[in-house]
Structures are given as C-alpha cells and as structure tokens.
Amino acid sequence: MDNLAGFLKAALRFILWLGKKGVEMKQLETVGIGIAGMVVIIVLGCATGVKTSSTVTPRPPRTEVPAEPVEFQLPSKLPLVAEPGEVSEPVPGGVIDWSGNTVRARGTGFIDPGAKNKAQAKLMAERAATVVAQRNLLEIVKWVRVNSETRVEDFMTDYDVINTDVEGTVKGARQVGPAKYDSVAGIVTVELEINLYAKDGLADALSPALGGKVVASSVSPRVKEFFQEYSGLVIDGGETGLKPALFPKIYDEDGNLLLDTKNYAGYLTGQTTLQFISDLDKLLARPELATNPLVLEVKQVRGKLGTDIVLGPKDARQLKWLKDGFKYLLDAGRILVRVRL
C-alpha cells in the first residue's frame, strides 16, 4: 500500500504540471482515467494476490517427508553347498545325484570294424550310444522317489500326460562333455543328464499331478525372527535311514503335517532347491552358516519309501511357521537335509 500512495502523489504532481503547461481539460481527463485504471489494477493485485514486480511471495513452509520403512531383506543366497556326487545313488547305467541336482545315464555304441569310412562309422556309433543313453536314462528316472509312497514310474503309469512329458524331458537331455572313443575296444560312450529341479527338469514334468502352486504370503513376523536369529535350517537325518525324495513331507510325532514340499514345487528350480548333504561338519564350517544354524534331528522316518521326516515335540514347535517361511528359505538357499546313503 505504501507503493500505491507514492504512485498517487506522483500522478497528482504530473497532472498539475500538465495544467500549468496549458494542456486542455479534455486531455487531462483522459490522463486521469488512465491513471485511475492503473490504480484499480494495483489495488486488485494487492487484494487477490496477483503478483506484480513489487510483490514478495513468502516461502512455503517446509514439509517433512517421513522416511519409508525399511523392507525386510533375506540373507544373501547360499549357493549349492554339497559337492556333486556327495549324496548319490549309483544304479546300473548311471546315477541319481541328489546333491548335484541331476540324473545321469551312459550309453555305448560299437564302431563297425569293417567300415570303409571310419569317420562315418564313429558318427553312427555315437548316435547309437545316444539312443542307448536315453533308454537307460528313462529307466533310471522311473526309480526316482517323488515322496514316501510314489516313484516317477507310478505317475507315468497313472497319467498319460506325465508319461509323455517325462519321455520328452529325457529326449531333451543334454550331453555331458564330448563322446568318449575307445579305439582299442571299438566303442563310443555318451553320457546324458537332466535336472531334478529346474525348468524343463524332472519335477517340472511331474507338475500336472502336483496340484496348484501355493501363493507365498508376505513375510510373517515369525519368519523374520528366524532369519534374524539363525543363519539357516538344517534337518539332520542322522542314522534314521532317511532317503532323499523330490518332495518329502515333515510331520510331528502325532502325525500332524508341518510341511508338504510338493505344494511348493513351483518354487523349486535350479536356483532354489531343497539341498541334500551328507557332510554336516563341512557344511557348518562355511562362514555363511557357521554363525548360528538351527540344526534339528529327525526323530524317526515314516512311509513305504522312507522319505517322510518326523520331528520331536520341541523341534516341531519351533517350526510351526514353516509353511509360511519355506518359500523364503528356498529363496535364500538355507534349508538343507542331511541323509546318509
């Protein structure tokens, strides 16, 4: 408003000066109307907050943005800890390598000693060895334990789609290294393998019979507490005769099901697997687990094929949260089962 008063004084002096110079009244009226219009604009600007060159806008109050809550972080992922072959079942023509997450089979083909084209004879022998390896691999796969009551062969018999999928998985098996030629014996050996857990692996081929995938819930407070207190979960089969299976179950002594790993088949991949080990001391010496692993001893084993795990009352109570937390244990690679074959 002080600026407005100064403006009016200057305008009045200007009009008086024009009068002394002999400016006509009509022209003075025009000048006065112009000055009045400017006064109106200035007054309205002050009243409505319209900015002029002399308007000073106060700084808005600073709003404190609350810090976002820190999300729960899983511990760093533990890679496969067992050496390939550490927990394995040799079978005629190959091996089921539970710790290496593979099933392997060998096949041999004979080089025709009378062939004129030796290179072509070797190639034909290699193709024959591959066919034999595929056939052996299929027979080995059939004996893989799915759970305590079922082998892969049972699913293949009961479900045509699984029979087709398993055969397709075997035909798509990858070759392990180059073919081996024995020029003295005149034979070629080829080794093939498939994964137990992985996309396009054996467990994936069984998925039509496994039911829907469990949708993982958010991390519960009890799961968070576990990861804050322990570096991992180790279930020690000891001398109970526990056998490895694709999808073992865990019970308490009263027969209450604590966990059916089959329900989490969709989370069991080549990168997130149920790890089978045999050397517990070697495992616990790893810095990622050495701090404070939770090691639970298997009380007994149940089921026709000896793969169901039974825990004692105290240990079972500690794992009431396992259904909620199993997916996160897999993601972190921190659930391991010790077996002795």
pLDDT in the model for residue 329? 87
H/E stretch holding 178: none
pLDDT in the model for residue 27? 55
pTM, full prediction: 0.76
Evaluate whether 126 touches 106 at the Cβ level (below 8 Å): no
Whether the predicted pLDDT of 265 surpasses 90: no
pLDDT in the model for residue 61? 52
CA-to-CA distance for 207 and 162, rounded, in angstroms?
8
pLDDT cut 90: percent of the chain above it: 51
pLDDT in the model for residue 14? 56
Cβ neighbours of 215 (radius 10 Å): 7
* CA neighbor of 259 nearest in space, from 211, 332, 322, 327: 322
CA-to-CA distance for 250 and 319, rounded, in angstroms?
10
Range 132-151 average pLDDT:
97
Whether the predicted pLDDT of 3 surpasses 90: no
Whether the predicted pLDDT of 167 surpasses 90: yes
pLDDT in the model for residue 63? 45
* CA neighbor of 276 nearest in space, from 252, 298, 243, 240: 243
Range 114-122 average pLDDT:
91
Whether the predicted pLDDT of 62 surpasses 80: no
Tell me if residue 110 falls in helix, strand or coil. strand
Compute φ and ψ for 211, nearest 5 degrees. 85, 180
Strands 275-277 and 335-338: parallel
pLDDT in the model for residue 155? 96
Q: Please, how many CA atoms are within 13 Å of residue 159, restricted to the half-sphere of its CB?
A: 17
Range 304-324 average pLDDT:
93
- DSSP 8-state secondary structure symbol assigned to residue 151: B
Give the pLDDT confidence of 68-114 residue by residue, as tens digits: 444 667 777 777 788 889 999 999 999 999 999 999 999 999 999 98
Of 160-164, 186-190, 262-266, the one with minimum mean pLDDT is: 262-266
Q: At what angle do helices 160-171 and 118-142 cross, to 10 degrees?
A: 140
pLDDT in the model for residue 65? 43
Whether the predicted pLDDT of 271 surpasses 70: no
* 337 bridge partner residues: 235, 276
- Reading the block at residue 212, the tokens are 């829907």
Region for 198 from its dihedrals, namely left if φ exceeds 0, alpha if ψ lies in -120 to 50, beta otherwise: left
pLDDT in the model for residue 67? 42
